[in-house]
Amino acid sequence: MSGQRTEPSDPYFPANGDSRYRVHRYELALEYRPGPNRLAGTARLSAIAGRAPLAEFHLNLAEFRIGRVLLNGRAPHYTHRGGKLRIRPAKPLPAGSAFTVEVHWAGNPKPVRSPWGGIGWEELTDGALVASQPVGAPSWYPCNDRPADKASYHISVNTPSPYTVVAGGRLLTRTTKASTTTWVYEQSAPTSSYLVSLSIGMYQTVLLGDPGLGGVPQSAHVPAHLLPRFSRDFARQPAMMALFEELFGPYPFGEYVVVVADEELDVPVEAQGLSTFGANHVDGVRGSERLIAHELAHQWFGNSVTIADWRHIWLNEGFAKYAEWLWSERSGGRTAHELAIAAHRLLASQPRDLRLADPGRKLMFDDRLYQRGGLTLHAIRCALGDSAFFRMLRDWATVHRHGVVSTAGLTQHVARYTAEPLDELFHAWLHAPALPPLPAPPRPPIPARPGYPPTNGGSKGGRGKTSA
């Protein structure tokens, strides 16, 4: 291979992603047979070379059998080893030039190995699902697997007709021929590879809220036997959506979809415009309602506003954790400050070796990162006061809508909302492992609206890991 050098796309996962180019569109055509767990696919990637001529580049793809690779319609030299599909053009691609890559692959998909076990494509008892955070996307399609490389997606899936196929984005068509059905989805919003999800199973479709009232279209795909419990557990999701739009700005995508797998999952997980829960998260007594709020909040923080690399994961998880607290505060539960007290007490009893702004790969999903991330936002709220804090929060989600952010970008953003320097606060909460003192409560607390949330936001039947 060429001696062209590049810095790792992500210091936590240096083998994933290639910063020498970016993809702006993926077109995936898949055939999946659940019985033998057989996947065959064609991917067409539209990409742009970076600032230097591109003598070689790579995609991440698990150990499938490669049928064909084309670069701008011609066969290039390529190798496929160790989860990397390395491609070398006959002549270097000019800097800034557009190019297309087409990959045909087939095999039996399975999770890729990670420090947290298998991640990505998961074969279920009857169907399959994808939960890729952080590096599971190559378990089922070739991609430039780094969070900052966001692209639009067109996904076509052919599978036996009894199964429902759910992907993030708008369902364009559903076409049945003989015993199979092809489902075609379009996700036009810029999407990170780890946030592309797929669920294949036996589901009933449920509409959440009243479609006649407008607002964000919300639906769910749920096993029939779980519908009674689901209807109670997710009844307040429309009210959550209304609150988060009030606090964070307009919902950043065209629709929001929930899938409940007919199996237990360690944790629910977010994807672009979609969240997946396990049967164990549906108990009929709203036992997982904070997780429903957490996954919905990720649509703003993590999915629309996306981290530059995994060092900044607290910008996903801390914000979603604080959204849990805000939902509790505004829906008649404990206030954010009461929840901050409990989180601070918990952290005080645990090791103090986590630096929030750069936790290291080993600790990036540690529960302390979630709790300390929420506490950091609470400390910022206490320092700014409610009026400035909620303007700051909404502006952060609005200014960076569909963009890429870092911890340094947040501290610069927050500084615009106060005349007082916050350097000590940022150092103590973000960069030092010691636990700072609990901040004094904000004045005044944000009040719950009379009669909020509504109690009639139930669902209507239709046809048809720590929280990530």
State the pLDDT confidence band at 441, using cuts at 50, 70 and 90: confident
Is the model's pLDDT at 355 over the cut of 90? yes
Q: Which of 6-10, 344-348, 356-360 has the lowest mean pLDDT?
A: 6-10
Q: Which of 226-230, 305-309, 345-349, 445-449 has the lowest mean pLDDT?
A: 445-449
Record the pTM.
Answer: 0.92
Average pLDDT of span 9-16: 91
Is the model's pLDDT at 449 over the cut of 60? no
pLDDT in tens, 299-352: 999 999 999 999 999 999 999 999 999 999 999 999 999 999 999 999 999 999
Average pLDDT of span 225-244: 97
Is the model's pLDDT at 277 over the cut of 80? yes
Map out the domains of the chain with their CATH numbers.
21-201 (2.60.40.1730)
HEC per residue, the chain: CCCCCCCCCCCCCCCCCCCCEEEEEEEEEEEEECCCCEEEEEEEEEEEECCCCECCEEEECCCCEEEEEEECCECCEEEEECCEEEEECCCCECCCCEEEEEEEEEECCCCECCCCCCEEEEEECCEEEEECCCCCHHHCCCECCCCCCCEEEEEEEEEECCCEEEECCEEEEEEEECCEEEEEEEEEEEECHHHCCEEEECCEEEEECCHHHCCCCEEEEECHHHHHHHHHHCCCHHHHHHHHHHHHCCCCCCCEEEEECCCCCCCCEEECCEEEECHHHCCCCCCCHHHHHHHHHCCCECCCEEECCHHHCHHHHHHHHHHHHHHHHHCCCCCHHHHHHHHHHHHHCCCCCCCCCCCCHHHCCCHHHHHHHHHHHHHHHHHHCHHHHHHHHHHHHHHCCCCEECHHHHHHHHHCCCCCCCHHHHHHHHHCCCCCCCCCCCCCCCCCCCCCCCCCCCEEECCCCCCC
State the pLDDT confidence band at 458, using cuts at 50, 70 and 90: very low
Is the model's pLDDT at 134 over the cut of 80? yes
